[in-house]
Structure 1
Amino acid sequence: MKFNWGTGIVIAIVAFMGFILYMVITMSTDKTYSYDLVTEKYYQQELKYQNEIDAEENASKLDENISVLKTKDGLQIKFPSNFFPKKIKGKVFLYRPSNKQLDFEIPISISNTYLLVPEKRLLDGRWNIIVSWNYKNKDYLFKKEIVY
């Protein structure tokens, strides 16, 4: 068999296609390359989206909205001071975009006007905080990206 330019180009193309096929199969089947979705139940979450929009609008109409402060003890989530703390119900969800295993949720049960998320639960980096709360049968929603 005579080896010329045409044979070399065909061998190079076949080798390149084989390499690409190997990479595609490896990346799609290997468990070490995990691809986390933002949520597992995407379509069910989409149906609830209008309620979130309404709750965010309710929160934006408040004279004083939630504030998030970094303290030496952790992350302090301060609720409006004109609300009675014992009547505030809901949950705080901290979402870590880079690692699904670090996500956690805290129920809101406070006697002061603030909730403290302990520092030991928060690693340095970016966090998305979602505070979903209810006061006097009215829903409120607060979202913020923070770097801790």
Structure 2
Amino acid sequence: MTPIKPRTIWPYAIIAVFVLFASYIGYMVQQAMRTTVDLVSPDYYQQELAYQKRMESVARTAALPAPVELRYEAAAQRLTLQLPPALASQPVKGQLHFFRPSDQRLDFSLPLQAGANQPFSTAKMQPGYWRVRLDFTAGGQAYFVEKELLIK
């Protein structure tokens, strides 16, 4: 009579580890495929081509005698744009772009109005992190300012 050897569970444990690992990888691939991946903006590559002009506008804005100010008043739910006095007497044209990095669908733009002190309501904006981009021309010169804004 031959003695009966006790069964070992190691082959079953190794197979179970491989099956669990493969299941985990399959789950992670499924989650990755469901995630939406959006570019920062639909015309991202066109914006990169205009980078040099943007840098010239930023340098021109930095050289102004007084800075362009964007003040957020949380209690009044208002954002106030204050142009420097040197630009207040000139006709100003431009756009104020509100950019939400976490959700492209919330982005919107507002036109600039005449005057050096311009209020904008933030009551309909969702709380969180925003970037405000001010792109305007005054006296035939282009200017650009980008500020960070935290709506509460």
TM-score normalised to structure 1 length = 0.84
Letter in 2 for 1:19: Y
Counterpart CA distance in 2 for 1:38 and 1:84 is 33
Matches within 5 A, 1:24-35: 24-28=29-33, 30=34, 33-35=35-37
Question: Would you say 1:101 and 2:109 are equivalent positions?
Answer: no
What RMSD, in angstroms, separates the aligned Cα atoms of the two structures? 2.0
The aligned length equals 143
Q: Any stretches of 5+ residues in structure 2 without a counterpart?
A: 1-6
Distance 1:62 1:16, change over 3 A: same
Change (3 A) 1:127 1:24: same
Structure 1: 5+ residue stretches without partners = none
Identity rate, percent:
25
Match 2:122 to one of 116, 119, 122? 119
Distance 1:116 1:132 in 2: 16
Q: Which has the larger radius of gyration?
A: 2
Deviation at 1:85, TM superposition (A): 5.5
- Residue of structure 2 in register with 1:49 after alignment: 51
**How many angstroms apart in 1 are the aligned matches of 2:38 and 2:130?**
16
Give the letter aligned to residue 20 of structure 1. Answer: I
Contact 1:95 1:129 in 2 (8 A): yes
Using the size of structure 2 for normalisation, the TM-score is: 0.82
